[in-house]
Amino acid sequence: MSVEHVWVGAVTESSAWVRARIDGDEARLAVSESSDLSSPTYFGPDTATSDDMVSIRATGLDADTRYHYAIEVDDTLDTDTTGTFRTHPRQGERADFTFAMATCAGASPEYSGEGSVLAADRLSNHPVFDEIRRADPLFFAHGGDMHYYDLGSGSHGISGGGSLANYRRAYDDVLRQPRQHRLYRDVPLVYAWDDHDFGPNDSDRTASGRDNACEVYRERVPHYGLPAGSGANPIYQSFTVGRVLFLLSDVRADRDPNDDPQGQSKTMLGAAQKAWMEQVLTANTGAQAMVWLTPSQWVSEHEDSWASFLHERNELVELFGDTGWLTRMCALSGDAHALSIDTGGGNRHGNFPIYQFSALDSGGTSGPATDTGPNLSGRGHYGLVRIRDRGHTIAVAGTGYDMGSRWRAHTWYSYVGSTVFALDAAAENLGDIVDPFAPMLDDDGVRNDVAVSRQDGGEARVVDDDHVETYGRYDESATLNVNDDDQLESQAGWRVHLGTWPGMRYPAVSPALNVRPQVVEGWLDVDLGDQIEVSNLPPQHPDGTVALIAQGYAETIGPHRWDVEINTTPAGPLTIAHLPETGRVAEDFEDADLDITITDGGDEPWTRTDAEAASGEWSLRSGVITHDETSDAIVTVPTGAQAVRFWYRVSSEEDFDFFRFLVDSSEELTASGDGEWTLSDEYDVSSADTITFRYEKDGSVSENQDTAFIDDIVFTLAPDAGPDEPNRLDTSGSVLADGIDNIDTELLVLTEQDGPHDRALWITTDGPGDHLPEQFPFDVTMGGETARVTACEPFAWDDFDRTETDAWGISDSGHDWAETGGSASDREIDDGVATVTLASDPTDARFQVLDTAEVGDCDITVSVSVSATASGGSLAPSVLLRYVDNTEFYLVRIHHTSSGNVFLSLTNSTSSTHEGEIDGNEDSGFDYEGGDVFHVRVRLVGDRVLCRVWPDDGRPEPSYWQLDREVTEDTISTGRAGVAALAFAGNDNTDPELSFRELRVENPQRFTVERAVNDVDAEHDAGTAVALTQPAVIGL
């Protein structure tokens, strides 16, 4: 026999890993889609190790395909020891499949081990292995205790303890059992050890054979990528099938002793494994459900369970919750020799379902209590877990079996999102819907005034005054059973939201099942509450796609007809806020087609290597260099990247030869010596062009491997909000400040500030302050037209960060400053300060006017100061509003009085006396000295002018207006904005300087847009409402 044993594992959608022990020098792997192995594809060859092992990967396979294989030893194909496997369905796509799971074979076995083995009574050849194989699962997840050799314990007549030879022999002995061998040849293995196959009973990191166990697992077991790296490191791993993530934990290699005191630092998994888990759980792999294999029992009072690691168990619950998996996961465990299923009701630590499928062939124990009734102890047990992905839900059905007899089952669901049943009204000239399909034009369901109360509690009322004014009052009252009165306003507001939604209401839709069989499958997936979208409607309907919610249906099935009428309500008001997903660009170096751009630098380039990896089989390794040389891998930061993390390992002369990581030219990380694979911190690359991985040597000595490795580089991208997704909060009360024709692409948008509270302005891409360019573009609606906003900036601004003499030049927003009054030499700008010197006749006002379009309402902020305390008359840096010419304007004056006080006044006259001042002045409550800076905010709403000032001493902006005046005569509708400098009569300061800083005309704002996104092409008057097309509505 040329092949002693063989098993298959680490299967993906395009590959499989076969490891075999042979009697020969060299082997190839033959793979065929035919059971007779006709026309095979060969992989390899691989030369046998000193331990007679070969390890060969089949790559480039088709997804979701059955393959058969055999080993060719020294040019002879061994057809007596063949196997089979099925590749996985494509990752991230919907897929139905079944896998098997079980644990524990060899404690007082009913079917003892056969052949020449170390301890026959610690192995099993039970018929249960045949039962699992005949079920033909996609893979078999073994949760530990594959044997009960307890290596290192000195028990069971096994000499040599936890030696490398004994760990190798243990795998050989398992595969000498005919039923186990046949199972592992024909069903790919996924395997995480527990205590008895890792070391002695209840073993941990102190086990004498720990390092050897880790080494031999890597030698013998076909496994997925091991992020802990090569050598004596843990074996945790993960993989994804379809849209289901599988996470395998190593609960032994880094485990603290069970009897160590409980505490924050006590760990079963180790810090590196938990950091890896966080990385996997936050990665965007397309997975929507998770299966976690933890060989130690999650809910148990046994000492050798998670009960001895209370703090870490709580930490994991928090991790699963924070990463969004807690309601989309289940756990598989073993250890106790019994079948048990907990639906989550008995799991006080996360409330996720737990399946325990045990024992394969070990004496029975009861196991922890569950919420489904008594467990079934004993042997001959296993489980089958069926995954059924229906798109909007993923059903995970776990069933326990006792030698082929069904024992108990539980199905849980991961809810991905509601089904969208898409119907095309114009498909192939027939259409997916049956007439009549028409909107209902009545006021049924309209509610704009809602009062709600709590039984024996308070009440709340919400009224949409604008809707009432336009359509009349539609009121409603209700008594609700809510927890407290604080919830009532939200309940009333939600009912008003539902009742004032402006879209058309379609009461019913009938899919054309009889003539369009293509829509049948979609209809069969629909549940009540799912969304129906009807597109390509005739011209008499509203533009765009109609989105509806299925509320009920009537169905008639006859010999020749299948008629369905679905009762519907609009989906629009139920489209509530969701956060956009964070994108990522990842490179794992598993193939040569890289997803990132790397430029070589230094003396030698970095290259891909399969010598070792943080996960998978490949990584990137620094070039072979000599003394005083460097090897650089310069990575271009992807567009939109915000942060980067990666795994690295360095093996160098400690403190002399270094691995370095740089963001642009800034060094962020340095490492040397012979270290393990390590997950880096997260580094900010939002403003970087490149990152560089560098290995550099000094002038002498080479130690260890003299190299550095990197793997699994992950760039986190800014969230892609999408232009029409409900993930942005709307402003309220925004209107067009100017009318536009049907081709204008620049809009002037005013956010009206006529209410009791300030209304938030739109986010910006340019100008002062924080910008959110990643949130652009987004869609707005105005007068039935949808426009796409690609940029937004304040109306005008100037930080004066330049040098000018005899004028103020051009503002930062690109507008000329026009000057009147005084002489040119009165003006200058230097180092962020714009100054007007009142060199002669200080009562002659100097105006600085921004050469912009005229505006009406606006918000302006500016900081002002005077060079000295006023002498005689007040010095008055001022804000200029609705300037038409030197005789027509509003002026808000900041009086710096000769008494050292700051007063405010409003005038619509050029007089430097109190003539034209409206209703006198107001004391701000602040004093000043020369050089003190004051911040000023001025708001103009209609002909009402408001102003507040506050000193630049760290205190916050006041919430009240110190000046509130209404212009009732000689009103001005629009004009330009700016500032002015003047002194009151009697001022006798010598050449006083009035200074201005950080001017902003914040409101209105300038939108750059693409017009007619929804094909509505129209002109719009000033005052037309502007709002998000799809605002984020906070649902209850």
**Confidence check: pLDDT of 554 > 50:** yes
Residues 508-513: what's their mean pLDDT?
Answer: 91
Around Cβ 538, how many Cβ atoms within 10 Å? 9
pLDDT band at residue 816 under the 50/70/90 scheme = very high
Cα–Cα distance measured from residue 507 to residue 484, given in angstroms and rounded to the nearest whole number: 35
**Exposure letters 901-914 (e unless 16+ CB within 10 A, then b):** bbbbbbbbbbebee
* Beta bridge partner(s), residue 662: 667, 692
* Beta bridge partner(s), residue 649: 709
3-state secondary structure 450-492: EEEEECCCCEEEEECHHHHHHHCCCEEEEEECCCCHHHHHHHH
Residue 430 is predicted with a pLDDT of 63
pLDDT band at residue 913 under the 50/70/90 scheme = very low
**Confidence check: pLDDT of 847 > 90:** yes
Cα–Cα distance measured from residue 778 to residue 749, given in angstroms and rounded to the nearest whole number: 15
**Confidence check: pLDDT of 542 > 60:** yes
Residue 484 is predicted with a pLDDT of 86
Residue 251 is predicted with a pLDDT of 98
Phi and psi, residue 54, nearest 5°: -125, 150
Residue 615 is predicted with a pLDDT of 78
Q: Quick check: helix, strand or coil at residue 429?
A: helix
Out of 589-598, 701-710, 912-921, which region has the weakest mean confidence (pLDDT)? 912-921
pLDDT band at residue 912 under the 50/70/90 scheme = very low
pLDDT digit string, tens, across residues 195-233: 999 999 999 999 999 999 999 999 999 999 999 988 899
Residue 955 is predicted with a pLDDT of 92
> In sequence order, what DSSP letters do the residues of 868-910 get, joined into one string?
S---SSPEEEEEEEEEEETTEEEEEEEEE-TTSEEEEEEESS-
Residue 408 is predicted with a pLDDT of 95
Hey, which CATH number is domain 801-998, 2.60.120.560, 3.40.50.720, 1.10.1040.10, 2.30.30.760?
2.60.120.560
Q: What percent of the chain has pLDDT over 90?
A: 74
pTM of the model: 0.59
Tell me which DSSP letter residue 347 carries: -
Cα–Cα distance measured from residue 355 to residue 332, given in angstroms and rounded to the nearest whole number: 5
pLDDT digit string, tens, across residues 998-1025: 999 999 999 999 999 988 888 999 999 9
Residue 517 is predicted with a pLDDT of 83
Cα–Cα distance measured from residue 692 to residue 671, given in angstroms and rounded to the nearest whole number: 14
- Mean pLDDT across the chain: 92
Which alpha helices (DSSP H) does 148-234 contain, by range? 164-175, 178-186, 195-198, 210-220
pLDDT band at residue 1035 under the 50/70/90 scheme = low
Residues 235-239: what's their mean pLDDT?
Answer: 96
3-state secondary structure 293-346: ECCCCCCCCCCCCHHHCHHHHHHHHHHHHHCCCCCCEEEEECCCCEEEEECCCC
pLDDT band at residue 914 under the 50/70/90 scheme = very low
Which tokens hold the place of 617?
């089989």
**Confidence check: pLDDT of 763 > 90:** yes
CB 817 within 8 A of CB 807: yes
pLDDT band at residue 442 under the 50/70/90 scheme = low
Cα–Cα distance measured from residue 109 to residue 994, given in angstroms and rounded to the nearest whole number: 96
CATH topology of domain 1-87: Immunoglobulin-like (2.60.40)
Residues 440-463: what's their mean pLDDT?
Answer: 87
What distances in angstroms separate CA 622 from CA 116, 489, 593, 615, one per listed residue?
47, 62, 18, 18
Which tokens hold the place of 423?
């119907």
What is the CATH number assigned to the segment(s) 88-415? 3.60.21.70
- For residue 1004, cis peptide bond before it (omega within 30 degrees of 0): yes
Q: At 206, which amino acid appears?
A: T
Residue 419 is predicted with a pLDDT of 65
Between CA 343 and CA 349, with CA 345 as vertex, the angle to 5 degrees is 105
Cα–Cα distance measured from residue 627 to residue 864, given in angstroms and rounded to the nearest whole number: 61
584-717 classified as CATH 3.40.50.2300 = no
- For residue 719, cis peptide bond before it (omega within 30 degrees of 0): no
Q: Quick check: helix, strand or coil at residue 763?
A: coil
Residues 112-123: what's their mean pLDDT?
Answer: 96
Four-point Cα dihedral 141, 144, 145, 150, nearest 10:
150
Residues 496-511: what's their mean pLDDT?
Answer: 86
pLDDT digit string, tens, across residues 29-85: 999 999 999 999 999 999 999 999 999 999 999 999 999 999 999 999 999 999 999
Residues 752-762: what's their mean pLDDT?
Answer: 85
**Confidence check: pLDDT of 177 > 60:** yes
* 3-state helix vs strand vs coil in the chain, percent to 5: 10, 40, 50
